[in-house]
């Protein structure tokens, strides 16, 4: 019994695409968002001066009061890789 190779290739490609789509969506949900004021400060190589942002940054989070969300990026760790 011969199996259609192109059909198998198509099925594998479909599964991979679905897997990647799921991974992409999961990433989107987990994506951290830096508050606007902190993004502006970072562009000027400064730390945001807002008390709420400083407190959030100390906890390793983005300031939710200012529109941020999730964990703050750890850029130093990425640079080492
Ligand atoms: Zn801020
Ligand atoms: Zn803030």
Q: Give the domain extent around 46.
A: 32-81
Q: Give the percent of the chain with pLDDT over 70.
A: 81
Report which bound ligand comes closest to the CA of 52. Answer: 2
pLDDT the model gives residue 4: 86
| Residue 67 sits in the same domain as residue 40 | yes
Contact 37, 47 (CB under 8 A): no
pLDDT the model gives residue 72: 87
- The pLDDT-based confidence of 55 (bands split at 50, 70, 90) is very high
**What is the reported pTM?**
0.55
Give the Å distance between the CA of 53 and the centre of ligand 1.
5
| Residue 10 sits in the same domain as residue 26 | yes
Give the Å distance between the CA of 27 and the centre of ligand 2.
24
Please give the DSSP secondary-structure letter assigned to residue 72. Answer: P
| Residue 37 sits in the same domain as residue 73 | yes
Higher pLDDT, 30 or 65: 65
**pLDDT digit string, tens, across residues 16-38:** 888 888 777 665 556 889 999 99
| Residue 49 sits in the same domain as residue 71 | yes
Report which bound ligand comes closest to the CA of 48. Answer: 1
* Residue 69 three-state SS: strand
How many angstroms separate the CA atoms of 30 and 39, rounded? 18
Give the Å distance between the CA of 70 and the centre of ligand 2.
13
| Total of domains in the chain | 2
| Residue 77 sits in the same domain as residue 47 | yes
| Residue 58 sits in the same domain as residue 71 | yes
């Amino acid at each position: 019994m011969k199996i259609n190779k192109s059909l198998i290739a198509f099925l594998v490609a479909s599964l991979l695409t679905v897997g990647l789509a799921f991974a992409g969506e999961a990433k989107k949900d987990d994506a951290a968002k830096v508050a606007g004021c902190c993004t502006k400060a970072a562009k000027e190589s400064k730390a945001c001066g807002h008390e709420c942002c400083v407190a959030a940054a100390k906890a390793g989070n983005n300031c939710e009061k200012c529109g941020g969300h999730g964990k703050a990026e750890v850029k130093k760790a990425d640079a080492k890789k």
